[in-house]
């Protein structure tokens, strides 16, 4: 059996320190429920002395957490902080006080204005004081990543002797190279008396984009708890992303001699929840949980994934609750991807028929970044309409706007291939076009309905127009047309309705 790595989630404390990400108690409870569902080992629920809201959140989360999940409150190495945290944690079945202070030269000299010995005294006192309230006390050595290693060993040993059950070695500024940070952990394990009896935790930040690498290297060197946040939320460039650490451990568990108890199928849901509650958007290409994490856009990749998913995917999307692999249809997509998606939508075509569908698809794709299912449906339906056409659109142009009189110039092509061109005025651009159509296709009808909708997302969406015309005998005919240009889709829809009306009477 591999080593169990505890996942300590600090989304609700360090994550919330991300500018603009503050949450109220209700929102924190929603996230906490998801963290519990995901099986995290520890939830750092807040910094109780910092505000009544944080106090309440820690107390409420303590109430809902089961006896498998530790609830932790942060404090400075200050008695009052510890007393308030202990009070907030009274509701928790498994309470933990997380106390500590800065240990790097700049923290000691510039922030705390303490000598190393004074810092050790403060650490011993804080841990002992916290142990009066709870059995589980985690000591953090803030900015350990830039601390003098001999001093770090001394203060950690003092904290362990004072009763710390967990020692947290943060790279607060994300400064280290992963192997140097790993070496610090290995050195602590070698030199600190009693460290084998406590959990070594690591808490890394992403200032150089290496938070996950730092945490993994620490695990490789003996750490058995990783502190992290959903989506890597946190101060400045953020904390270690929980989903990344968990999936690295899952993918390389044997090599790392490590596993976690996280229900990985809940990762995507957790990511979306945190993003929607905090308003912090997840970048599209974010590992594991970005919307593009399992999306394939180039024709070569799509062809590979359709033949065998693992040609371009190392994780099964289902394992992180991400639905499935996505084939993004765009101008770079090939025949295989289009045929596959069409088949999923229930359309199969003979080769020559498919080729003309593919060409129609490329025309749409050239105008749009991404072609959606609704676009494909429109392409297929447009084709069905065109095959029944008596009149087809040759060209349409309108000039309109204030203070112009809307004018349309229109060319329709009849069944024999002859072009008919006219111009007409109207009360608006569509009215002008419809008057021009009526001049060419002279068939008695009344336009009884006109509706337009965007069939896909974005500014480059296809606009689909539906019209209903009533013939002289009261019979109603529906026509549809779609195009990126709504004047073109309006024209196509009207012609489509009139073609139906005429063919019904032939
Ligand atoms: O980054 C850090 O060092 C911290 C500590 C308070 C644990 O967040
Ligand atoms: Zn931090």
User: Which atom, in ligand 1's list, is nearest to the CA of 239?
Assistant: 1
Distance 235 CA to ligand 2 centre (A): 7
Q: 10 pLDDT exceeds 70?
A: yes
Q: Are 141 and 106 in contact (CB under 8 A)?
A: no
CB 232 within 8 A of CB 200: no
**Is the Cβ atom of 47 under 6 angstroms away from ligand 1?**
no
Stretch 377-406: mean pLDDT: 83
**Least confident interval from 231-245, 302-316, 360-374:** 360-374
Cα separation, 426 vs 240, in Å, equals 62
Q: From 47, 96, 164, 168, give the residue whose CB has the most ligand 1 atoms within 8 Å, as the site to mutate.
A: 168
Q: In this structure, which residues have their CB less than 5 angstroms from ion ligand 2?
A: 14
Ligand 1 center from residue 306 Cα (angstroms): 45
The token duo for 18 is: 């991300």
Q: What is the pLDDT of residues 410-455, one digit of tens each?
A: 999 998 899 999 999 999 999 999 999 999 998 999 998 898 887 6
Q: How far is CA 359 from CA 298, 331, 353, 418, 461, in A?
A: 17, 11, 10, 25, 19
| Alpha-carbon span 22 to 376, nearest angstrom | 42
Rounded CA-CA distance 319/78 in Å is 43
pTM for the whole thing?
0.78
Q: How far is the CA of 322 from the centre of ligand 2 (A)?
A: 28
pLDDT in the model for residue 448: 85
Establish whether residue 140 lines the binding site of ligand 1, counting it when its CB lies within 6 angstroms of any ligand atom: yes
- C-alpha 475 – ligand 2 centre gap (Å): 71
Helices (H), 39-78: 52-64
How far is the centre of ligand 2, averaged over its atoms, from the C-alpha of 203 (Å)?
6
* 199: confidence class by pLDDT, cuts 50, 70, 90: very high
As a whole number of angstroms, the distance between CA 476 and CA 473 comes to 9
Q: How far apart are alpha carbons 62 and 314 in whole angstroms?
A: 37
Phi, psi values for residue 217, rounded to 5°: -65, -35
Task: Find out whether the beta carbon of 175 lies less than 6 Å from any atom of ligand 1.
Answer: no
Average per-residue pLDDT in the chain?
93
Asked if 136 and 102 count as a contact pair (C-beta separation under 8 A), the reply is no
For the chain, give the number of residues: 506
Closest C-alpha to ligand 1, atom 2: 172
The full DSSP string for 279-345 is --PPPTT-TTTSTTTTEE-SHHHHHHHHH-GGGT-SS-GGGGT----EE-BSTT--HHHHHHHHHHT
Q: Is 14 in the pocket of ligand 1 (CB under 6 A)?
A: yes
Instruction: Find out whether the beta carbon of 170 lies less than 6 Å from any atom of ligand 1.
Output: yes
What pLDDT was estimated at residue 386? 54
pLDDT (0 to 100) of residue 344: 86
Q: How far is CA 339 from CA 57, 312, 343, 464, in A?
A: 52, 20, 6, 23
Ligand 1 atom with the smallest distance to the CA of 144 is: 3
Among the bound ligands, name the one nearest to the CA of residue 75.
1
pLDDT, one tens digit per residue, over 76-123 is 999 999 999 999 999 999 999 999 999 999 999 999 999 999 999 999
Check if 172 has its Cβ closer than 6 Å to any atom of ligand 1.
yes
Whether residue 367 has pLDDT greater than 90: no
Of all ligands present, the nearest one to the C-alpha of 175 is 1
Q: Which ligand is nearest to the CA of 173?
A: 1
Q: Rounded to a whole number, what is the largest CA-CA distance in the chain?
A: 102
pLDDT for res 384: 64
Q: Alpha-carbon distance 191 to 193, whole Å?
A: 6
Instruction: Label residue 226 by pLDDT band (50, 70, 90).
Output: very high
pLDDT at 473: 84
Sorted by where each starts, the structural domains of the chain and their CATH numbers stand as 3-278 (3.20.20.70), 295-371 (no CATH), 389-505 (3.30.160.270)
* Radius of gyration (C-alpha) of the chain in whole angstroms: 33
Q: Please check the confidence at residue 385 and state whether its pLDDT lies above 70.
A: no
Contact 9/40 with Cβ under 8 angstroms?
Answer: yes
Pair of tokens at residue 79: 């008695």
pLDDT digits (tens, 9 = 90+) for 388-397: 678 999 999 9
Backbone angles phi, psi at 296, to 5 degrees: -120, 125
Counting ligand 1 atoms within 8 A of each CB, the residue from 49, 50, 140, 228 with the most, and so the one to mutate, is 140
Q: What is the atom index within ligand 1 of the atom nearest the CA of 205?
A: 1
Contact 494, 434 (CB under 8 A): yes
Question: Does residue 494 surpass a pLDDT of 60?
Answer: yes
Give mean pLDDT, residues 210-225: 98
Amino acid 36: pLDDT: 98
Alpha helices in 132-262 (DSSP H): 149-162, 178-191, 211-220, 242-251, 253-256
Instruction: Give the model's confidence band at 380: pLDDT under 50 very low, under 70 low, under 90 confident, else very high.
Output: confident
- Tell me how far the alpha carbon of residue 44 lies from the centroid of ligand 2, in angstroms: 11
What per-residue confidence (pLDDT) applies to 500?
83
Binding residues for Mn(2+): 14, 203, 205, 239
Q: What separation in Å is there between the alpha carbon of 123 and the centre of ligand 1?
A: 15
Using left for φ > 0, alpha for ψ between -120 and 50, and beta otherwise, residue 30 falls in alpha
Considering every ligand atom, which ligand is closest to the CA of 145? 1
pLDDT by residue (tens digit) across 318-353? 999 998 888 999 999 999 999 999 998 888 899 888
Instruction: Using alpha carbons, select from 273, 384, 374 the residue that is nearest to residue 29.
Output: 273
Mean pLDDT of 53-70: 97
CB 172 within 8 A of CB 100: no
Among the ranges given (261-265, 297-301, 459-463), the one the predictor scored with the smallest mean pLDDT:
459-463
At 352 the pLDDT is 84
98 CA distance to ligand 2 middle (Å)? 12
Q: Which of 203, 218, 235 to mutate to test the pocket of ligand 1 (most atoms within 8 A of CB)?
A: 203
Q: Which of 359, 293, 299, 284 is nearest to 330 (CA)?
A: 299
Query: What is the structure's pLDDT at 388?
Result: 62
Q: Nearest bound ligand to CA 238? A: 2
């Amino acid at each position: 059996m591999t080593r169990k790595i505890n996942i300590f989630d600090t989304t609700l404390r360090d994550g919330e320190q991300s500018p603009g990400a503050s949450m109220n108690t209700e929102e924190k409870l929603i996230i906490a429920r998801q963290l519990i569902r995901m099986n995290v080992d520890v939830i750092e629920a807040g910094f109780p002395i910092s505000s009544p809201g944080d106090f309440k959140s820690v107390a409420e989360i303590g109430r809902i957490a089961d006896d498998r999940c530790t609830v932790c409150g942060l404090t400075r190495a200050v008695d009052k902080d510890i007393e308030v945290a202990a009070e907030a944690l009274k509701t928790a079945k498994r309470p933990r006080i997380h106390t500590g202070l800065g240990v790097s030269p700049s923290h000691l000299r510039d922030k705390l204005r303490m000598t190393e010995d004074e810092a050790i005294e403060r650490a011993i006192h804080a841990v002992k004081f916290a142990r009066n309230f709870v059995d589980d006390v985690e000591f953090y050595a803030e900015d350990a990543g830039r601390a003098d290693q001999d001093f770090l060993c001394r203060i950690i040993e003092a904290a362990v002797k004072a009763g710390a059950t967990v020692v947290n070695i943060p790279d607060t500024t994300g400064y280290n190279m992963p192997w140097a940070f790993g070496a610090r952990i290995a050195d602590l394990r070698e030199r600190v008396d009693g460290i084998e009896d406590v959990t070594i935790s690591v808490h890394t930040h992403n200032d150089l984009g290496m938070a996950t690498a730092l945490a993994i290297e620490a695990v490789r060197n003996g750490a058995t708890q990783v502190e992290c946040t959903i989506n890597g939320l946190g101060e400045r460039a953020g904390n270690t992303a929980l989903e990344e650490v968990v999936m690295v451990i899952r993918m390389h568990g044997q090599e790392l001699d490590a596993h976690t108890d996280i229900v990985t199928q809940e990762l995507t849901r957790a990511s979306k929840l945190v993003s929607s509650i905090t308003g912090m958007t997840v970048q599209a290409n974010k590992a594991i949980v970005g919307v593009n994490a399992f999306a394939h856009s180039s024709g070569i990749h799509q062809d590979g994934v359709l033949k065998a998913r693992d040609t371009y995917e190392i994780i099964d999307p289902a394992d992180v609750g991400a639905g499935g692999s996505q084939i993004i249809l765009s101008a770079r997509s090939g025949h295989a991807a289009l045929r596959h998606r069409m088949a999923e939508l229930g359309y199969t075509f003979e080769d020559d028929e498919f080729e003309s569908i593919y060409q129609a698809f490329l025309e749409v794709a050239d105008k749009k970044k991404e072609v959606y299912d609704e676009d494909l449906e429109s392409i297929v339906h447009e084709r069905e309409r065109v095959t029944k056409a008596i009149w087809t659109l040759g060209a349409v142009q309108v000039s309109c706007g204030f203070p112009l009189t809307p004018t349309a110039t229109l060319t329709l092509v009849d069944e024999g291939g002859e072009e008919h061109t006219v111009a007409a005025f109207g009360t608006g651009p569509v009215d002008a076009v419809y008057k021009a159509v009526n001049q060419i296709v002279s068939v008695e009808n009344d336009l009884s309905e006109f509706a337009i909708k965007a069939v896909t997302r974005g500014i480059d969406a296809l606009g689909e127009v539906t019209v209903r015309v009533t013939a002289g005998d009261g019979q109603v005919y529906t026509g549809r047309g779609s195009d990126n240009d709504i004047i073109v889709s309006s024209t196509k829809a009207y012609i489509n309705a009139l073609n139906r009306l005429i063919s019904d009477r032939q």
